């Protein structure tokens, strides 16, 4: 079998596996594969978590793997890369191949150095470009939620129009295995989708444009892959057809039949011989010098120092607005605001698994460096009192692992009654929905008798030291006036 | 393959060819809609109040005290005249427990799973075709079903427990003026042969007690928070719409404060189960016996009896007390 075919099968298999793992990341977490480990693969995640133990180990695994085999991750595993390949396949008739290598081939290394400098100065924007989390965000916030909602609606309509045993059985099957029993909504999902989809359109210029010029994970692996043990051995080629050069999706093969080891993603484009001849990969052959290496487009010391300086200047020129205050309600177990924003890799696991759909991606409420971090949005859901799912799925420890006992004492916000909206306070009518729902054992919402408009009613008030800010009161509050509810939870 | 597809767009079309393709496509779309119209046809627009069989039990109300919940349940139904009075062969039975909160059975916020399982078993033994168990939960449904222990217990007993589908809520038509007009009600709860209501006895901040009438709120959808405005009147209308055939109040463990549970200090073990065909009588008796509250102090019970939906007078009813 051709290597290219094996690659394609492996790639689609892994892609489907990853999508399934993402899709089934939900309560009660009985899945056979937890995608958390997948996010921990990236060395960038390890850097963002400041070398937390499990992340460090797993990403070290990827580094060693890359040292032996080269950038197999980019070519065979990365889901975003697979998506690029699919997009390139579709866009093939529209694209014109260009052989020449643009001079900005070093751009991805520059980006990596810049982002690393930013990270260690406390400003993490890896999330913008990291391919695995970019794919996960696109999957969770747009593809998954839209697909799920369409399935829920279409399937519901079909079943309600054709009742019967078959429909009931199908319904049970669907609800157990395929869809959620409700609509899943994520805020600003159109913006997320644009960020997710635009890099896919770059394939119109070049196949794997993203991987060549932007991807920071790819450049991180490229630095290691330069010394990889598995190298390409090329047969002596004399007729000069140069088909392997124009076929290479990474421009790793040069016209003199040399190749750039850190650009090669082992996709097999050249191996199967577009010219009819064969070249092959051989394991651990650096001494025999049968392969011709082309070293001209890597990163060198001069570049590194220059770019670091440029990053520093850029950073201090930028002068981001820093304030340690929380503008949004964070999930329980979140670190203090500054280090939370640094550690969070924006994979969206916590928002996907949240059983009430209460965790939502932030857009700009918490600053530019807070995009796609999770917040608790009482309009869409609330924090289930004894649920610790989001703390279990955070890959970098931005949300600390909590036990159920710790969690019920973790304050994430504080409720405030709006006396100009709340029905008992304003109109003197009975309504104690918030008190009924308050999950705290001895009720953080207490009652007092008041007289309004001549009616004697029980009105709620908050005992602040008991309130944990779970937001169920705001979520269920029926009073709504002037764009605010009768009770509002503020971040703490 | 790609070339074939793109080739389609490169071909030069004559006007005739274009019209041909257009017409074929149009016809295909037309027939497709005809075929799928039935598939997507919207169901019944409105739903009417549940039709109730006439059931005459041996006693108006039976109350059992004991320790073995399954034995107590069997005894109580035998005393009422046997399950055959309620469930005929081939019936579709709805068992409606209270699974409102994400709490374990020890917290007494949800109906005791053993009681639910026992009722399901008895119904299946009597020849019921299907025993459906569901509740519109307050907390997240998956967690409520699992942590309350009811999902496992019902599945073990052979019942059919499922989450409530959004598309099966249908606006209710009361056929008279009502504050609950057009509130969506769950179709399965109305289109059934026998409705068995199994609430847990506990307190409620607004209406004082959550008993069998209040438990019927769990088959209604829509905005349940606004239902709490003028709740007493709405509860009476809910009762008149659903009219459960049998109410079994779980007084094994009761909550004496904070109806959403979570505080072990509020749980009180009464080891009692109360059953009646009359929801108002069951509530009155439970209020008096379990909580020592005069039933006429509870607005919705009083209003329900005034509306002629049941008997509030415990002394005039035919009641049997048993101890096992």
pLDDT at position A34: 80
B186 neighbourhood in chain A, CB within 8 Å: none
pLDDT in tens, A419-440: 999 988 988 888 888 888 898 8
Whether A317 contacts A304, CB under 8 Å? no
CB contact under 8 A, A441 and B262: yes
Task: Using a pLDDT cut of 70, give the percent of chain A over it.
Answer: 89
If DSSP codes are grouped into helix, strand and coil, which group holds residue B245? coil
Q: Is the pLDDT confidence value at A97 over 70?
A: no
User: Which residue matches tokens 């209501």?
Assistant: B197
Q: Is the pLDDT confidence value at A100 over 80?
A: no
The average pLDDT across B31-43 equals 67
Which member of B40, B206, B258 has the closest CB to residue A157? B40
pLDDT at position A321: 54
Q: How confident is the model at residue A66 (pLDDT cuts 50, 70, 90)?
A: very high
Q: How confident is the model at residue A16 (pLDDT cuts 50, 70, 90)?
A: very high
User: Which range, of A62-66, A320-324, A381-385, averages the lowest pLDDT?
Assistant: A320-324
Categorise residue A240: left if φ over 0, alpha if ψ from -120 to 50, beta otherwise.
left
B152 neighbourhood in chain A, CB within 8 Å: none
Q: Is the pLDDT confidence value at A69 over 80?
A: yes
Chain A nearest C-alpha distance from B130 (Å): 12
Which member of A27, A152, A439 has the closest CB to residue B142? A27
Chain A nearest C-alpha distance from B236 (Å): 17
Q: Is the pLDDT confidence value at B8 over 90?
A: no
pLDDT in tens, A240-259: 777 777 778 888 887 777 77
Chain A nearest C-alpha distance from B78 (Å): 33
Contacts of B261 (CB under 8 A, 6+ apart): B101, B103, B107, B108, B109, B110, B202, B255
B167 neighbourhood in chain A, CB within 8 Å: 156-157, 159-160
Chain B nearest C-alpha distance from A355 (Å): 7
Minimum CA–CA partner of B103 in chain A: A386
pLDDT in tens, A131-142: 999 999 999 999
State yes or no: cis peptide before A322, omega within 30 of 0: no
Chain A nearest C-alpha distance from B268 (Å): 15
Q: How confident is the model at residue B152 (pLDDT cuts 50, 70, 90)?
A: very high
Q: What is the DSSP string of B136-169?
A: --SS-HHHHHHHTSHHHHHHHHT-EE-PPPGGGE
B40 neighbourhood in chain A, CB within 8 Å: 157-158, 161
Q: Which tokens belong to B165?
A: 């589908």
CB contact under 8 A, A27 and B2: no
CB contact under 8 A, A384 and B139: yes
Q: Is the pLDDT confidence value at A65 over 90?
A: yes
Minimum CA–CA partner of A442 in chain B: B263
pLDDT at position B155: 93
B209 neighbourhood in chain A, CB within 8 Å: none
CB contact under 8 A, A160 and B167: yes
- Residue of B36, B132, B205 for testing the chain A interface, max A β-carbons within 10 Å: B205
- Residue of A182, A439, A481 for testing the chain B interface, max B β-carbons within 10 Å: A439
A149 neighbourhood in chain B, CB within 8 Å: none
The average pLDDT across A207-233 equals 86
Q: Is the pLDDT confidence value at B13 over 60?
A: no
pLDDT in tens, A288-308: 555 566 666 667 777 778 878
Q: Is the pLDDT confidence value at B248 over 90?
A: yes
Q: Which tokens belong to A179?
A: 């869809």
Residues in chain B whose beta carbon is closer than 8 A to a beta carbon of chain A? 2-3, 6, 38-43, 102, 138-143, 146-147, 162-168, 204-206, 223, 225-226, 228-231, 258-260, 262-263
- Residue of B6, B101, B139 for testing the chain A interface, max A β-carbons within 10 Å: B139
Minimum CA–CA partner of B145 in chain A: A28
B166 neighbourhood in chain A, CB within 8 Å: 152, 156, 181-182
Q: Is the pLDDT confidence value at B12 over 80?
A: no
Which member of A160, A431, A435 has the closest CB to residue B43? A160
Minimum CA–CA partner of B41 in chain A: A161
pLDDT in tens, B265-294: 888 888 899 999 988 999 999 998 888 888
Minimum CA–CA partner of A480 in chain B: B226
- Residue of B224, B228, B233, B256 for testing the chain A interface, max A β-carbons within 10 Å: B228
Which member of A93, A172, A447 has the closest CB to residue B162? A172
If DSSP codes are grouped into helix, strand and coil, which group holds residue B321? strand
pLDDT at position B4: 61
The average pLDDT across A343-368 equals 89
Whether B275 contacts B80, CB under 8 Å? yes
Average pLDDT along chain B: 85
- Residues of A (394-453) whose Cβ lies below 8 Å from B: 423, 429-433, 435-443, 447
CB contact under 8 A, A93 and B6: yes
Q: How confident is the model at residue A330 (pLDDT cuts 50, 70, 90)?
A: very high
Contacts of A278 (CB under 8 A, 6+ apart): A235, A271, A272
CB contact under 8 A, A181 and B102: no
**Angle CA(A9)–CA(A13)–CA(A16) in degrees, nearest 5?**
140
**Angle CA(A5)–CA(A219)–CA(A318) in degrees, nearest 5?**
140
Q: How confident is the model at residue A278 (pLDDT cuts 50, 70, 90)?
A: low
User: Which range, of A222-231, B4-13, B176-185, B246-255, averages the lowest pLDDT?
Assistant: B4-13
Q: Note if the pTM is more than 0.90.
A: no
pLDDT at position A102: 57
Gap between the Cα atoms of A209 and A211, Å rounded: 6
Q: Is the pLDDT confidence value at B120 over 70?
A: yes
Categorise residue B208: left if φ over 0, alpha if ψ from -120 to 50, beta otherwise.
left
The average pLDDT across A312-328 equals 68
Gap between the Cα atoms of A152 and A180, Å rounded: 8
CB contact under 8 A, B41 and A161: yes
Q: Is the pLDDT confidence value at A181 over 60?
A: yes
A433 neighbourhood in chain B, CB within 8 Å: 225, 228
pLDDT at position A122: 78
User: Which range, of B12-21, B159-168, B213-222, averages the lowest pLDDT?
Assistant: B12-21
Alpha helices in A270-322 (DSSP H): 301-318
Whether B264 contacts B106, CB under 8 Å? yes
Whether A165 has its CB under 8 Å from any CB of chain B: the answer is no
pLDDT at position B197: 92
Longest dimension (CA), chain B: 93
């Amino acid at each position: 079998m051709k290597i290219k075919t094996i690659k394609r099968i492996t790639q689609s298999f892994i892609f489907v596996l990853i999508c399934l793992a993402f899709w089934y990341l939900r309560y009660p977490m009985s899945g056979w594969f937890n995608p958390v480990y997948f996010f921990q693969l990236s060395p960038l995640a390890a850097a963002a978590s400041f070398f937390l133990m499990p992340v460090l180990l797993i990403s070290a695994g990827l580094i060693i793997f890359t040292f032996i085999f080269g950038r197999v991750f980019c070519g065979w595993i990365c889901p975003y890369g697979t998506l690029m390949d699919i997009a390139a396949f579709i866009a093939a008739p529209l694209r014109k191949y260009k052989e020449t290598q643009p001079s900005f081939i070093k751009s991805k290394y520059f980006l990596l150095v810049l982002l690393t400098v930013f990270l260690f100065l406390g400003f993490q924007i890896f999330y913008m470009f990291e391919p695995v989390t970019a794919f996960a965000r696109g999957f969770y916030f747009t593809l998954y939620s839209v697909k799920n909602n369409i399935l829920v609606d279409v399937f519901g309509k079909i079943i309600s129009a054709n009742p019967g045993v078959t429909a009931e059985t199908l319904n049970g099957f669907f609800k157990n295995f395929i869809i959620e029993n409700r609509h899943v909504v994520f805020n600003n999902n159109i913006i997320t989708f644009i960020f997710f989809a635009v890099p896919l359109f770059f394939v119109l210029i070049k196949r794997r444009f993203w991987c060549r010029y932007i991807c920071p994970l790819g450049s991180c692996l490229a630095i290691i892959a330069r010394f990889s043990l598995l190298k390409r051995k090329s047969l002596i080629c004399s007729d000069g057809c140069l088909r392997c050069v124009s076929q290479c999706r990474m421009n790793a093969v040069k016209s003199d039949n040399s190749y750039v080891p850190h650009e090669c993603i082992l996709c097999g484009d050249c191996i199967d011989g577009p010219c009819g001849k064969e070249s092959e990969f051989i394991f651990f052959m650096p001494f025999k010098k049968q392969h011709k290496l082309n070293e001209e487009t890597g990163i060198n010391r001069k570049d590194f120092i220059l770019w670091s300086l440029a990053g520093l200047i850029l950073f201090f020129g930028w002068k981001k607005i820093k304030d340690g205050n929380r503008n949004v309600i964070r999930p329980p177990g979140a670190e203090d605001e500054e280090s939370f924003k640094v550690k969070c890799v924006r994979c969206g696991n916590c928002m996907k698994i949240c059983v009430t759909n209460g965790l939502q991606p932030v857009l700009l409420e918490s600053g530019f460096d807070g995009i796609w971090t999770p917040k608790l949005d009482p309009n869409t859901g609330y924090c289930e009192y004894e649920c610790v799912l989001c703390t279990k799925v955070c890959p970098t420890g931005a949300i600390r692992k909590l036990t159920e006992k710790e969690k019920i004492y973790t304050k994430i916000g504080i409720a405030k009654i709006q006396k100009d909206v709340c029905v008992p306070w304003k109109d003197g009518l009975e309504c104690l929905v918030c008190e009924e729902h308050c999950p705290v054992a001895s009720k953080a919402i207490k009652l007092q008798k008041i007289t309004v408009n001549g009616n004697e009613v029980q009105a709620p008030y908050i005992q602040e030291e008991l309130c944990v800010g779970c937001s169920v009161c705001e979520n269920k509050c029926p009073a709504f006036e002037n764009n605010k509810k009768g009770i509002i939870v503020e971040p703490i | 393959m790609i070339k074939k597809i793109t080739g389609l767009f490169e071909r030069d079309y004559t006007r005739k060819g274009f019209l041909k393709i257009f017409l074929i496509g149009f016809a295909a779309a037309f027939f497709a809609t005809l075929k799928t119209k039935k598939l997507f046809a919207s169901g019944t627009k409105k739903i009417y109040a549940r039709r109730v069989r006439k059931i005459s039990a041996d006693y108006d109300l039976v109350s059992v005290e004991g320790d073995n919940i399954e034995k107590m349940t069997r005894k109580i139904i035998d005393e009422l005249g046997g399950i055959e009075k309620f469930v005929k062969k081939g019936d579709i039975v709805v068992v409606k427990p209270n699974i409102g909160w994400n709490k374990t059975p020890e917290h007494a916020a949800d109906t005791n799973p053993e009681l639910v399982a026992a009722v399901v078993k008895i119904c299946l033994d009597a020849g019921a075709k299907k025993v459906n168990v569901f509740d519109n939960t307050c907390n997240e449904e998956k967690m409520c079903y699992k942590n309350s222990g009811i999902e496992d217990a019902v599945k073990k007993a052979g019942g059919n427990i499922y989450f409530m589908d959004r598309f099966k809520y249908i606006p209710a038509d009361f056929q008279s003026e009502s504050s609950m007009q057009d509130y969506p009600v769950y179709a399965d709860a109305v289109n059934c042969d026998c409705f068995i209501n199994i609430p847990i006895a506990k307190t409620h901040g607004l209406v004082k007690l959550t008993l069998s009438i209040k438990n019927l709120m769990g088959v209604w959808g829509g905005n349940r928070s606004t239902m709490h405005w003028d709740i007493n009147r709405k509860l009476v209308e809910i009762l008149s719409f659903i009219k459960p055939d049998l109410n079994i109040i779980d007084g094994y463990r009761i909550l004496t404060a904070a109806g959403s549970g979570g505080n072990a200090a509020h749980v009180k073990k009464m080891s009692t189960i109360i059953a009646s065909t009359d929801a108002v009588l069951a509530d009155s008796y439970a209020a008096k016996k379990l909580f020592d509250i005069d039933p006429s102090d509870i607005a919705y019970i009083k209003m329900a009896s005034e509306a002629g939906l049941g008997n509030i007078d415990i002394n005039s009813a035919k009641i049997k007390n048993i101890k096992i």
